[in-house]
Structure 1
Amino acid sequence: METQSKLIGSENLSVQTTFKSTGKTLDLTASDPLLFRLLLSLTLMGLFAEWLHPFTAIVEGSSGNRLIEVLYVLTAVLLFIGMFGFRWFVSTWIYVASILFAWMYAFEEGVSLSWMRSYIDILQNDAVDLLNTGHYTALSQETRTLVLVIGWCMLVYSVQSLALFRRSIMLFAVATVLFLIGLETVLDLQVYADVIRTCMLVLLLQGLTHLARLRDSDASGVIRKSVYGIWIISVSLAAVGLVAIVWSGLQVMPAKELNRASLNDAVGHVQAWAETGYMQLGQEKAETGYNLSGDMIDMGQPIIQNSKPYFIADSPVQTYWRGEILNNYDGRKWSMKPDNLMPTTAINPFGSKNEVIAQEKGNLITQHVEFKQALRQDFPLFGGGIISKVVAVETGSPKALPVMMADPLAGTIKLAVDTNTAGVVGYKIETYIPKVELDKLRLQGGTDPSTIKDHYLQLPGELPARVKELGLQVTSGNTNRYDTVYAVKEYLAKHMTYTLDTRVPAQGQDFVDNFLFETKQGYCTHFATAMTVLLRSQNIPARYVMGFAPGQKYAGEANRYLITEGDAHAWVEVYFPQQGWVPFDPTPGAATGSIVSPVLAPQTSDNNIYNVFSYTWSSFINPSSWSKMLGLITVLNRLNWVLIVGTSLSLILLFLAVHHLWHSREMYRLWKQLHFTRRTFPHKKHLMAAANPVWEGLGRRYGAIDPGATVREYITSLNIEEEIMRSRLYSFADDWEKIAYDEVPPNRTTSIAFMQECWLIANQLV
C-alpha cells in the first residue's frame, strides 16, 4: 500500500515519483526545502555558464554577443521556473513564452508583432528551401536561432529535472568537462580556470544530490532542516577547500608544459607528404556560394554543389551577374586593395561621363534583384555590366540605408551594411551591356593605358618560370590580342578537366602552377585564375571577376530568373585598347567520354513492374495457397482485433511504399544526382539518365514512342492541353537533342538547368 510522505515546511508541490524499494510515493520537490532547491539550481546555473562563457571570446559582432546574453538570461529564468515544479499544463505555457521572448529579444529590442508577421514569410521560404535542398544550412538565421533556443531550453529542463527528481548530474558534469577540454584542444582557448570552477561546482552538486538520495532511501523520507543546513555548509566548504588545495599546489609546483610533439609530428608528416606530391588529407568540403565575409583564403578547397536560392532577378536579357573585381594575385589567393573603394552617389557612381559611356558602348537596361534572405553584411551590387545608376536600394527599415562605395577602375559598387539593421532585401539598377563585335576585336590595335597596366599586369615575384614559358608557348604565332586570348581559353578547355573534388596545394606551391602541371583539374576558380595569370605573363591586362552565372528562368516567367548559390562563378575580363574590358568564361563543360546511345522507350521497366505485380496477384489467388492463409487467419483471430487491423494497415502501407519506391527509383537517382553526388561535372551519360523519368512518365500517360519516330515528332503528337507543360516539353526536347547528338559538351549552367527541368517535368507526370 502506498502512503504519502511527510512534508518539510509548507511547500507542497506536484511532481511525484514512486520508489519500488519502499512502496512510497514521494513528492520530491516538496520534500526539499526551497532554499535547497535554489542552491541546487544556482549551482546548475554555474555549470551552464561554463558552456556559454567561452563563446564570448569566439563570437564576433554585437548580434553574437546579444545571443549569448539572451541565453544567460533564458537559462536563469528556466531554472527559476523549474524550482517550483508546476504542473505540465502550466509549465508548458511558461516555457513556450520564455522561448518566444528570448528568441525575439535576440533580434529585436523588444516584442514586436510586426516582426513576428514578417517572420511568417521567412518561415514559408525556409520550408520551401529545406524541402528543395534537404540541408539545415538552407534555413534563415532567424529559424536556426529559434532551433538553437528550443534545444537549449530542452537541455536546461532535462538537466534540472535529472538533478531535482532523479538525483543525477554526472552525465552533464562529464559532458561539461569534455566540452571544455575540446575547446582547448580544437580552438586553443585557455580554459584551465573554467575546468577548476567546473570541478568545484560538480563536487558541490554531488554532495547536494547525495543528501537528497539519502532522504529518498530513508523509510520516513524526512530530514530536518538543520541537517540540510549543516550538510550544505559542510559540502560547500569541502568543495572549495579541495579546489583551493589543488590550486595552491599548482602555484607551488606548476604543471609541466604539455608535450605536443606527437601532434606537431603528425602535422609535419602531412606537410611532408603534400610536398612530395601526395594530396593533402582531411580538407573540409565547402559548398558553392559567394563569399561575403571578406576573408580571402587559399584557393582549391574541395566543394559540393549547393542549390539554395540566393536571389530572383528581373532583367530584359539573360546576363552574367558581375560582382567584384580582384586584381592582386599572391600565388595562393586573390585580393583587392581596400583603398580602391571610395564613397559615391547613386546617380553617377563613376562620374558624370558614365551614362555617355553606356550609350556609346552598350545597351542600357534596368535590372531588379530580390534576395531570398535579407543581407546584413557588406556585399557588392550584382549586375549584368557596368552600373550606370542605382535606382533604389530596398531595406527592411527606411532608416537603415547602407553606405555606397565604388571602385571606379573596376566598375563595381559595394554596399556597406550595418549588421544591426534589418538588412537589404533588394535593389534596382541601370546597367549597360557592352557591344562586342568579335571581327572588329581582331582588327583592333592600340596601346594599353598606364593605369590599366599598373593595376592589371601584377604577378607574384615567385611565379614559377614554367608558367610564363607555357603562356609564351600557347600564345605564340597569334597576330592579334583576341586570337591570343582565345588560344589560352582553348588550351585550358582541351587540357584541363572540370571537377569540384580538388585540394589546396601544399604550402609554398603556386596555385596556378599546381593546376597547370600537376592536378590538371579544378572548377571555375582554377580556370579563371590560370587564364588571368597566363595572359598577364604575356603583358596582356586581365582581371579576375567574381559573381554569378545567369541562372535559370523562374517558374516559366519571362524576363525573370532564379540564381542559386550553385550559380556562384568566376570568369575573366581582358582589356582591349579600343573596346575596353571584354568578358571571357574559360570554365569548360565536362568531357564527353564515350558516346552512349540514347534510350527513348521505357517499356522494359514498366513491364517489369507489371510482371512483378501480376505474379504477386496470381500467387495470392492460387487455391493451393489458401490452406496456409487459413492457418494464418486462425492464429490472428486469437489476437486482439486492434493488432489485426494495425498489422493489416502496416502491411498495406509497406506494400504501397515498396511499390512507390520501386516505381520512383529513377526519380531518386535524379534527385541524388542533383543534390548529393554531383561532386564532378555530370557526364553525357548522366544527363541522358536524368531524362529517363521524363520518358517513363510520358510513356505511362501518353503511350510509348512509335518505332522510327523522332523525339520532336513524338512530343508534337502528344495531346497536351496545358500551355506551360507543352512549352516545357518542347524546351526539354530541344535540350535533349543537343545533348544527345552534339559533339560539343554542354556547359555547367546548361547541365544543371537540364537536370532541374527533368525533375520538374517528371514530377508533373507522376
Structure 2
Amino acid sequence: MNSLKQWRIWFLYGAAFILLWEWLRPLREITDTANLQYFVIFMGMSLLLHVFQVKLLYSWLLKSVYVVGSLYLLYFKADNTEVNWIIRLIEDLVSNVMLLVGMNATDLSFSFRSLLFFLLLWMMTYLIQYWLMIRSSMLLFFIMTVVYIGVLDTFTTYDGALPIVRTLLVGFLLLGILAFQKLSRKEGIVITFQSLNRWLVPLILMVVFSSSLALAAPKSDPIWPDPVPFLKSLNPDSGQGPVGVKKVGYGENDSQLGGAFIGDASLVFTAEVTKEHYWKVETKEVYTGKGWESGGETSLLSFEQEEDIPFKWETPNEGALTRVEKVENVLKYNHIAYPYGAESVTIPDQDEIAFNYLLPKDKIAPVTPNQEAVTVDSYEVSYREPVYNLTDLQAATSESVTLSQEFVAQYTQLPDTLPERVRELSASIVEGKETWWDQANAIEDYFRLNGYVYETSDVPVPEEGQDYVDQFLFESLQGYCDNYSTSMVVLLRSAGIPSRWVKGFTEGEYNSSLENGVRLYDVKNDHAHSWVEAYFPEVGWVMFEPTVGFTGSAAVNDDTREDSATTNNEETTPNEVEEQDRNQDVMPEDEVASGETATLPLRVEARLFFERNWLWIISLTILVPLLIFTMVKTRRSWIPIFYKLQYKRNRQNKEAFEKAYLSLLKQLERYGLHIQDGQTLRAYAKYIDGFFGTWDMARLTDQYEQVLYGGQDVRDNHDELFKMWENLINKTRG
C-alpha cells in the first residue's frame, strides 16, 4: 500500500511539474529571459521537497540557499572578492525595494526580477502541493495552462502545436487520477493496484485514442474571422490606435510632440561600460511650435575607423583616462550611440566600413565605401569624459560673448507664433542672474522647484494653434522628457542663450558585472530620452537635464575653491578610476542636506545609505536569520518557560487552566508524542503517563474534563495542579 501511494504521489507531482514547465518553455523565445535551467531546477527541487515531506524549516533553508546561490552565479560571480558580492546583493535589494515603494517597477534590475521570479515559482509549487494533496483538483491550473499556450501561439512567434498536445495528454491523465483519488476519499474506498488499474487503463486508452483521433481528423476552416489583425490594428504604431498615444523609443520624426506613450521593454543594445552615462544619437535645432526639425542643409564629414572624430563640440578633457566601451546592437539602426567625449569608433572585423559625421545633427552613421548606409552588429567607442571648469562657464555673459550672428540666429531660433508669456517667464527666471551659466541652471531648476510632475499617460496633445511649450508650462504642468527638454531649450533661447535639443538614451538598466570593473547594461526602448545642450564660448556644448527625476547633467569642476579637485595628466590606476567614478556618482553631503540641489537618484540614495550603515546591515542580515533559526530549533526548551510564567500569574483562573492544559498538549506534540486519530484524551493521558512513568497526565485530564463539562472551580487545588503540570512541562524540555 505504501509503495502504491508513493507511486501515485510521484506521478501526480511529475505531471504537475510538466504542466508548470510549459509556462517556462516559451520565455526563452518570446522574451529576453535566459538561463531558464536555474528556474526549472528550482521548480523541480521545490516539488521534490514536497514529495519527501521535508520539514518546513529545512525546506525554506534549502530553497533560500539555492536562490542566493543562483543569483550569485547569474549576476554577482564577477565580484569574487570575499564578501563584495554579498554587499552588492544587499545594495541591489535595498535599491529595488525603494523602486517598488516608489511605484517605479520598470527600472527594477535583472537580479531583483529574477528574485521575484524565484518567489513566484516558490508560491506556485506551494499552490500545486495544495491543489494535489488537499483539494485533489487541478482543473483551474490546467485550463489556465491551455489558455496561456493558446494565447502565445496566436499572438507571438511561439509554436504551441506540440505543447498544447503535450499539455492535454498530461492534463487529462492528471485530472483523471485526481478524480479517482477524490472519489475514493469521499466514498471510503481503499485504493489498491487492482482498483487503480481498473480506472487508469481505460483513462489512458481514452485519452490516447481521443487525442490521436483529434490530430488525424480533417479540420474545417475557421467560421469566425481572425481577431488578430483587428487587435494589432489597435497598436499605436499602426496609425489606427488611440489618438495621441504612441510607443516609447527612438524615432526620426519629432515634428509632432505631445500626448501619452506606452512603455516598450524591447532591447535596443547592450553596453559594456566602466561608468554610467547617457548615450547621444543626434541633435535638432529648429523648433516649430509643435515639435522639432533639422534645419537647412547638413554638412558631412567622413572619417575612418580608429581615426579621431573630425569635429568636437565640447572641449576635450586631456587629463581624463581614455575608456573603451563595447556596444552590441539588437535593433538595427543606421547610427552610432556614443557617450560625451567620444574620440573614435571601431567596428570589429569590418575594416571597410567608415563613418559619416553629420553637422549640425551630431549624428554618426556607418557607411560602405560607396557611401551606402549600413547597420552593424557591434562596435567599440573610445572616449574621455569631459569635465568643465566653473570659471570658464561663468565667463559667458550677454555683454562679453562675441559669436557670429549666423550661429546665434541658428541656435536662438523661435517661431513667431510663440506666446509672449513664454518669453516673459524666461525673463523672470533669469532675472538677477548675470552669467549664462547661472541663467541656464536657474531654468534647469525651475521645473523641479515649481511643482512640475513627471507623467507618461495623462499628457495632453496641443490643440490646433496651441504651442507645445506654452501648454506644458502654463496648463498641464506634467509630462515626460520631451516636454521638459523642449521647454528648457525654448526658455534658454528666449534668454538669448544658444541651445539645442538632444536625443538618445539614458544609461540603461544594470545587468551584471564582468571582469576588471566592467559592467553590462541593457539599453531598451524604455530608456529613449531627450535632454538639452547649451553653448558656452571657449568651452563648447554643455548638457543639462531638466526632466524631473533624472540626473544627467555635465560634470563641473569648481575651480573657484582653493580645495577643489583639478584635472591633471598623471596616470590613473584602475582602482583610482573606480573610486573617482563612485565619488562622482555621490553628491556632497552638505549639498544633499541643503535641499537646494537636484533630487538624488534612488540608486545613489541606496548607495549612500548602505555605505553609512553597511556594518549594521550585514550584521543584521546574518544575525537575524541565525537568531530565528536558533529560536525555532530550540523552541521545545524555551516555550515551556514562557508557558510557566504565563500560567503562574493566572493559575487560580479556570480559563487559564484550560489554556495551560491545551498548551501542554501542544508541547507534547513538539516533543514527538502525537495523539492518534480517534484517540480519546483519557487514552492519550494513559499513554503519556506510561511514557514518563507518572500519574500526572491522567489527573490533569480528569480535572480538565470536570472544568470543561462540569464548570468545576480550580482554586482549591490550583497549587497541586500547577506542580503536576510543571512536572510534565519540564520533562518535555529535554
TM-score range, shorter chain: 0.3 to 0.5
Report the TM-score when normalising by structure 2. 0.46
- Structure ranking higher on relative contact order (CA contacts 8 Å, 6+ apart): 2
TM-score normalised by the chain length of structure 1: 0.45
